[in-house]
Every structure is written in C-alpha cells, then in structure tokens.
Amino acid sequence: MLLRTTLAALIAIFLLAGEACTKEAPTPAQTAERPERVAPTPADTTQTVLQKTFNLKGNATFPFEIPAHAAQPHLHGIFESTAGRARGQASDEANIDFLIMNQEQETDFANNRESETMFAVEATHNQAINFDLPPSMSQPVKYYLVFRSPEKSKDSKVVQADFRVDF
C-alpha cells in the first residue's frame, strides 16, 4: 500500500513538472501590448536647468532633457528682467514673454511657424514658475525654456534666471 501511494505521488509530481515546462514564452505581439512602465526616480534628484544672467534683444532658447523613466518631473524657478542693464529698473519696459516648449513646438517656433506651447507667461518682468512636466516613459524627452522680447521693443533687456527640475 505504501508503495502504491509513493508511486502515485511520484507520477503526479512528474505530470505537474511536465506541465510547467511546456508553458510557451510570450510572443512579441503579447509583449508589445504591455503598457510602458514609469519607475520613480531616486528621491532628491535635482538637475539645474538654467542659472544665468543674459542679455535679451530677441529670443533666447535654453534646452534641457528629462531622463527616461522620470515619473513626476517638476520644473521650478524664477526669472527677473530689467531694462538696459543688470540691477536696472524693473518696470513694464522690461517685460518679456516666457515659454516652455517640447521638441516639436520649439522646431515650429524656430522656423517661424505658428505653434502652441506647453506653458506661457506673457508681458512680465518677474515670475516664479512651478510646472509639472509629463512622465518621460522609456526615452529621454527634450524641452526648451524660451525667453522672448516683445517685437515692438527695440531695447535690450537683462534677464536673471534660475531654474531646476526635480524628478
């Protein structure tokens, strides 16, 4: 009786093991249907995007990149513009436009084609910015900070900008 029970148990184990070994690997079509995963990046990851004082007469564009798999990229910073020279008068004469663009929008902008922007602040000489960027999925994503002097303005402006992005 003990021999029959042991034999039956061994047969059952072999049948289950054989069943487990015949499982097929997923096909490429099955793996393509899986959604992309965005993993959180390590805490306290900060990247300086722009920390500069510069002269602005027309447009100034500053590219930056979000690494792949950034779940919650957040851009924050401040800028201030003055008319004529650094530490000059902050007034309506110093007003500029500030834009955040993705790759496609910046290409259109650079080629003088009409385009929307992800974010825009118009006609201001100082502004604090807090903006959540979309997750970057499996590829890095390039964005642009654009500072634009109004077309009718002939005077140069001095812009002091300090921007960072947290992941």
Per residue in 31-67, pLDDT tens?
455 555 555 554 458 899 999 999 999 999 999 999 9
How do residues 3-14 score in pLDDT, each as one tens digit? 566 656 656 666
pLDDT value at residue 137: 86
Q: What is the value of pTM for the model shown?
A: 0.72
- Per residue in 74-115, pLDDT (tens digit) is 999 999 999 876 565 567 889 999 999 999 999 999 999 998
Tokens representing residue 109 in the block:
């902008």
Compute, in degrees rounded to 10, the torsion defined by CA atoms 119, 124, 126, 127: -30
Residue that the structure tokens 């100034």 belong to = 60
pLDDT computed for residue 67 by the predictor: 92
Measure the CA–CA gap between 45 and 42, rounded to whole angstroms: 6
pLDDT score at 2: 57
